[in-house]
Amino acid sequence: MRYLLIFIFSTLFCFSQKTKEEAIDSIDFYIKYADIQKINNNYKLAISYSQKAIKFAEKNNDLSGQAKGLGNLGSIFLDLKKYNDAKESLTKSINILKQLPISSSLAINYYKMGLCYMNIEDYTTAEEYFNKSKEIYDNLKIDNNDLLNLQIGILYKKKGKTEEASSLFNSIISRNSPNDNPSTKAEALYNLGTIELKNGRSNLAINYLNRAMSLTKKSSLDQRIKIFSSLSLAYDKLMNIEKAYFFLKKHNQLKDSLATLNSKRLGAEDYYSYKESERMDVFEQMSKENEAQQKTNKFAKLISILAIALISILSLLSLSLYKNNIIRSQSNQLLKEKNLELQIAKEKAEKASQARAEFLSTVSHELRTPLNAINGITHLLLEENPKPNQLHYLNSLKFSGNYLLTFINEILEINRIESNSVEIEYINFDVKKQLIDIQNSLKELATNNNNEFIVEIDENIPNHLISDPTKLSQIFLNLINNALKFTKNGEVKVIAKQVDSDEKSSTLNFQIIDTGIGIAKEKQSTIFDSFSQGSIEINRKYGGTGLGLAIVKKLVDMLGGTITLESELGIGTVFTFEVKMEHGCDNAEEILETKRQSEYSDEVLKGKHVLIVEDNKINQMITKKMIENKGMTSRIIDNGEIAIEIIKNDNIFDLVLMDVHLPGINGTIATQQIREFDIKTPIIALTAISLNENREMLLSFGMTDVITKPFEPETFYKVIAQTLEEASNS
């Protein structure tokens, strides 16, 4: 029985569809009936026929027909003032028409889109669409300027550009062509009348409005209502109460007529009901078609009865599905609201994180300037042979300054990493030599805590690998410094070994092992978090920022590696990380150049004349004194504008030290302007570098090199010497 019902229903469905397609075989048929229903104010059927045209075109793969049906549907929604639906349909139509040869249909749809945006008062977008429409008409050499000029004139009028609007309206009414549209001229005259009415020229306004009325069709109720209203207002201003009342009465009568007419259109409630019950209408239509088919013959009648019974069952099922869909829609809406709440919470968290990063960056940046003064003055005092009882205080001051600088640098580094401002460099280097150099540099720290410091390196590790040696050095220094700091009278061992290798790359395993205080089990899961240490007591006893391991974890991740931790209180800690590196090559010239850059001679500095551009008085004094200590002479100015003039008119300087943050124009802009007329004089940037600054950014403005505040004296002199030497060789 079930299979019989399916067979009968299928036969009926195919038969009815065939009959339907034979009777209705073109898109123009559906469009025509949609237009008829629109004229009769039956917008529900008008929409239905437009949708049938679209489906018919889709079935026959007719792109032009789809565009035509969608454009017609957009026009209906435009009449109904459902502008979002209109824009959606017109956009689909436009996207299809763009795939076809250019035609006036595309221009018409652009024009309708412009009307949509006019009605929602988005005049900028409306003007863009009107211009697109005009461009197509011009390409097709179709004269449709009056219609477009009318809308552009209305745009100008709404934007307060009454002169430009009046010019366009006058050009429309002055034209005399058989193809002129009276309604367009009437609209232009109406708008001229309202402009004159607003300007206080009521008699001239009445003239324009009466001319507009003479051209207006009686069926154009909207247009006539506007004209009657404006005429009433114009006569009222002329104190002609009788005519003002007459036109006001006319306005109200037509407005009531229009309200009656609009009540027959598809209302908001009907529109929603139609959209929601569209699926049910399909079954009702099938039922009607089956009833009509019953009249053809007895066999068809039997099939129709069975089909109706089947459709009834399906209708019940559809109703059940419809209710389920409503429940599902409500659930989906609830999920959307929850997702929106989560998204808002996520955005708040991101903003808070960004605010924290910017705050810490600003604080660290602002601390560098006074810290530069502290470190600089300490260095100068140490160079002036202080008394023995003063030496202890100065060394303590130097230690405190360096400690504070390390803290600031770690804050800035963690902010850079978290804000994705750090990029990985791929450089050919010798990791074994790097470890030996680190061992040599940390021997004193190991000796201070009476630790044995051992480095074991696998001989199979290639001499040259490609990675980021700077970030790898940061990882080693943080981990080894921690091991040496938290270990006393013990042993710290660094083991480097190759665990995997092929022709192109090697995977290296590094272990930093100490016999220090260890880390409690409950702290190990958070030890890589920012500002995290073993305990408050450890922080007070050993110091530190709690950022070192957070930086290590993030840098290892950036290098594509992994890091793990094993530790036990009182026994010690083992940090293990693995990094995969490409094989490099032996570049003797690069090694020689690196060695050469690490050395400099004071002879290069003697007798050089330096321009110091710095606004901070203390920094001026420190920089000048450090310059003079090496046999150089200097001149100090405190802003970028004067620096530009001096170098342009009287450049007697061998070098310029340019502070980046200056009053007026900053150091980067000053350097950029100097480079327009002087590309030879070396300019070194002095900056308390912030989160948004980096070496590459500063060099892009024409800086020769960069010295970061507070600077190490040795670094300060080395950069200056190398810069002067390169300038003399070029």
Could you tell me the sign of the dihedral formed by the alpha carbons of 636, 640, 644, 649, in that order? negative
Percentage of residues of the chain with pLDDT beyond 90 = 16
CA 84: distance to chain centroid? 26
Name beta bridge partners: 510. Answer: 496, 577
Residue 564 confidence (pLDDT) above 50: yes
| Mean pLDDT, residues 383-394 | 68
Hey, how many other C-beta atoms are within 10 angstroms of the C-beta on 707?
20
Which has the closest alpha carbon to 190: 175, 212, 168, 160?
A: 212
Q: Tens digits of per-residue pLDDT, 173-228?
A: 887 766 667 888 888 888 888 888 888 888 888 888 888 888 887 657 778 888 88
Q: In 291-367, at which residue ranges do the beta strands (DSSP E only) sit?
A: none
Distances (CA, A) of 390 to 372, 380, 396, 401: 20, 13, 10, 16
Task: Please tell me the distance from the alpha carbon of residue 684 to that of residue 720, in angstroms, as a whole number.
Answer: 8
Could you tell me the sign of the dihedral formed by the alpha carbons of 184, 190, 194, 200, in that order? positive
Q: Helix 202-215 to helix 221-237 angle, to the nearest 10 degrees?
A: 160
Phi, psi of 7 (to 5 degrees): -65, -45
Q: Which residues contact 151 (CB under 8 A, 6 or more apart)?
A: 111, 114, 115, 118, 126, 130
Q: Which residues contact 155 (CB under 8 A, 6 or more apart)?
A: 118, 123, 126, 127, 130, 165
Q: Tens digits of per-residue pLDDT, 344-380?
A: 877 776 676 666 655 655 655 566 667 666 766 776 6
Question: What is residue 561's three-state secondary structure?
Answer: coil
What are 375's two structure tokens? 């470190």
Phi, psi of 620 (to 5 degrees): -60, -50
Q: Which residue has the higher pLDDT, 586 or 75?
A: 75
Predicted confidence band at 573 (pLDDT cuts at 50, 70, 90)?
A: very high
Which has the closest alpha carbon to 66: 50, 46, 43, 88?
A: 50
Q: Judging by DSSP bridges, how do beta strands 505-514 and 655-659 pair with one another?
A: unpaired
Q: Judging by DSSP bridges, how do beta strands 705-708 and 683-687 pair with one another?
A: parallel
Is there a contact between 689 and 362 (Cβ–Cβ < 8 Å)?
A: no
**Is the overall model pTM greater than 0.85, yes or no?**
no
Q: Which residues contact 31 (CB under 8 A, 6 or more apart)?
A: 49, 50, 53, 68, 69, 72
Residue 405: its pLDDT value, please? 59
Q: Helix 104-119 to helix 63-79 angle, to the nearest 10 degrees?
A: 30
Domain regions of the chain by residue span: 427-595, 599-729
| Mean pLDDT, residues 24-28 | 72
- Taking the chain, what is the end-to-end CA distance rounded to the nearest angstrom? 99
Which H or E run includes 705? strand 705-708
Q: In 369-410, at which residue ranges do the beta strands (DSSP E only) sit?
A: none
Phi, psi of 655 (to 5 degrees): -160, 150
Q: Which residues contact 233 (CB under 8 A, 6 or more apart)?
A: 197, 244
Task: Please tell me the distance from the alpha carbon of residue 289 to that of residue 311, in angstroms, as a whole number.
Answer: 12
CA atoms within 13 A on the CB side of 245: 3
Is there a contact between 499 and 510 (Cβ–Cβ < 8 Å)?
A: no
Predicted confidence band at 253 (pLDDT cuts at 50, 70, 90)?
A: confident
Q: Which of 154-158, 295-299, 630-634 shows the lowest mean pLDDT across its residues? A: 295-299
Task: Please tell me the distance from the alpha carbon of residue 113 to that of residue 47, in angstroms, as a whole number.
Answer: 18
Residue labelled with tokens 């070192």: 548
Hey, how many other C-beta atoms are within 10 angstroms of the C-beta on 456?
12
Is there a contact between 204 and 167 (Cβ–Cβ < 8 Å)?
A: no
Which H or E run includes 633? strand 633-637
Task: Please tell me the distance from the alpha carbon of residue 147 to that of residue 134, in angstroms, as a whole number.
Answer: 10
Predicted confidence band at 599 (pLDDT cuts at 50, 70, 90)?
A: low
Residue 595: its pLDDT value, please? 47
Predicted confidence band at 546 (pLDDT cuts at 50, 70, 90)?
A: low
Q: Which residues contact 587 (CB under 8 A, 6 or more apart)?
A: 428, 464
DSSP string, 575-616: EEEEEEEEE----HHHHHHHHHHT---GGGTTT-EEEEE---
Task: Please tell me the distance from the alpha carbon of residue 306 to that of residue 683, in angstroms, as a whole number.
Answer: 94
Query: In CATH, what is the architecture of 427-595?
Result: 2-Layer Sandwich (3.30)
- Which range of 322-331, 602-611, 706-715 scores highest in mean pLDDT? It is 602-611
Q: Which of 129-133, 361-365, 646-650, 675-679 shows the lowest mean pLDDT across its residues? A: 361-365
Phi, psi of 705 (to 5 degrees): -160, 175
Residue 5: its pLDDT value, please? 39
Q: What is the mean pLDDT of the chain?
A: 79
Burial (CB count <10 Å: 0-12, 13-18, 19+), residue 572:
buried
Q: Tens digits of per-residue pLDDT, 577-597?
A: 999 999 987 654 454 455 445
Name beta bridge partners: 705. Answer: 684
Is there a contact between 419 and 425 (Cβ–Cβ < 8 Å)?
A: no
| Mean pLDDT, residues 303-312 | 80
DSSP structural state of residue 216: S
Residue labelled with tokens 């689909």: 92
Predicted confidence band at 13 (pLDDT cuts at 50, 70, 90)?
A: very low
DSSP string, 244-271: HHHHHHHHHHHHHHHHHHHHTS--HHHH
- Determine the CATH number of domain 599-729: 3.40.50.2300
Name beta bridge partners: 513. Answer: 493, 574
Task: Please tell me the distance from the alpha carbon of residue 552 to that of residue 449, in angstroms, as a whole number.
Answer: 23
Q: Helix 162-174 to helix 145-158 angle, to the nearest 10 degrees?
A: 160
Q: Which residue has the higher pLDDT, 475 or 377?
A: 475
Residue 467 confidence (pLDDT) above 70: yes
CA atoms within 13 A on the CB side of 728: 10
Q: Tens digits of per-residue pLDDT, 617-644?
A: 888 888 998 899 889 999 999 999 999 9
Q: Which residue has the higher pLDDT, 326 or 220?
A: 326
Q: Tens digits of per-residue pLDDT, 262-286?
A: 665 655 555 555 555 444 444 454 4
Q: Which of 31-40, 177-186, 469-478, 680-689 shows the lowest mean pLDDT across its residues? A: 177-186
Task: Please tell me the distance from the alpha carbon of residue 34 to that of residue 47, in angstroms, as a whole number.
Answer: 7
